[in-house]
Amino acid sequence: MATNVDPRDLARATITGLQTDLVSLSHSIHAHPELKFEEEKSSAWVAGFLSDRGLDVDFGICDLPTAFVARVGTGPLHLSICAEYDALPAVGHACGHNIIAAAAVGAGLALAPLVDDLGITLSILGTPAEEGGGGKVLMLERGAFDGIHASLMVHPAPIDGLRPRVSAVSHFRVRYTGKESHAAAAPQLGVNAADAFVVAQTAIGLLRQHLRATDQVHGFITKGGDAANIIPAHTEGDWMVRSATIAAVHKVLPRVEACFHAGAIATGASVEFEAECPIYSHMEHHAGLVELYREATIALGHNYDDANEMTFSTDMGNVSLAMPSIHPTIGIDTAGAVNHQPEFAAACINESADNAVMHGALGMALTAIGAARGPLRDELIRR
């Protein structure tokens, strides 16, 4: 029903009214960290939060049991808000996906009563497995983003940022196969698959001198052997190669793979590679949407310095190449900790993190309202 009340005021009122429940949702997700594609409780809580408040939720979309969509409205401008809820091994919610999820549903519920007046269709997407699973890439490939004109999400960090430097990245597993033997009685009969990693990592260390500043290689050995007196025959490691774009990643990858082949040649082991998920793209931040978010959040007390932006990778990058998107960082008080540290996980339920839920929700809601009511609307629909 049409109303003379400013939709921005209505969005603020809705989010304020949900504050206690949104913070509780964030804390519940934080207290029960679940890894990529295993977010059974977290996804159910997020989807349930929406369905309990009147939204229809389609669960298990795109052949992903923990993915969902809640869709409302039939307007010509189709906007989406992405919720993440997976955690990291060992350090739990050290990337603050509990904040992302709660902010997303807060924004979605603030916009849901306004969709007819704004002339929009709104999709709130539950996107699993950002941490090394490529959930958004799979959902993009399987049609979850079809027909959507623009997509929004926010991410907690130690600093506020509008255009974080999002690198493209390849995640892959390396396996060496050698031959067991008694390490003292007959070492000459063994082929040491652990030594292959030593050679490979040494070669990667030497390669770094010849990489660009935007190229990064890092990883760790997940299996190094079984006993000190058995020549290791089976070793594995998880590795990542990052660069400024997917094209740049493809230039670095063969050089890194050559380092692993060097380990195989030097030891006599065999080597194989396995992609762990689709390659993540760099991020293209849509200038118009970024400006709307900046205006909304400056009014909430956030400050931005373009020279001081985070560097990381996210599967939201792939979405940004398919449609206008934003992925700003929202600062929380971390006492110097950064994402993926245990101290950052602890900070993701402090007072500043709870404020980030509210500010992130309102920032996205106001961005969507600005896009629906301003000159950006026609541009987004025409793309």
Backbone angles phi, psi at 192, to 5 degrees: -85, 105
pLDDT in tens, 13-27: 999 999 999 999 999
Contact 170, 245 (CB under 8 A): no
| pLDDT (0 to 100) of residue 306 | 87
Same domain, 240 and 102: no
pLDDT in tens, 95-142: 999 999 999 999 999 999 999 999 999 999 999 999 999 999 999 999
| pLDDT (0 to 100) of residue 354 | 98
Look up residue 44 and give its amino acid. A
Residue 2 lies in a domain: no
| pLDDT (0 to 100) of residue 1 | 45
CATH of the domain at 377: 3.40.630.10
Spatial distance between the Cα atoms of 248 and 316, rounded to a whole number of angstroms: 18
Residue 3 confidence (pLDDT) above 70: no
Same domain, 144 and 206: no
Residue 15 lies in a domain: yes
Of 260, 275, 290, the position where a domain reaches its end is 275
What percent of the chain is modeled with pLDDT above 70? 99
Of 257, 275, 293, the position where a domain reaches its end is 275
Look up residue 135 and give its amino acid. G
Residue 248 lies in a domain: yes
Residue 340: which region, alpha, beta or left (left: phi > 0; alpha: psi -120 to 50)? Answer: left
> Domain range spanning residue 205?
168-275
Of 275, 291, 309, the position where a domain reaches its end is 275
List the structure tokens of 359.
Answer: 């500010």
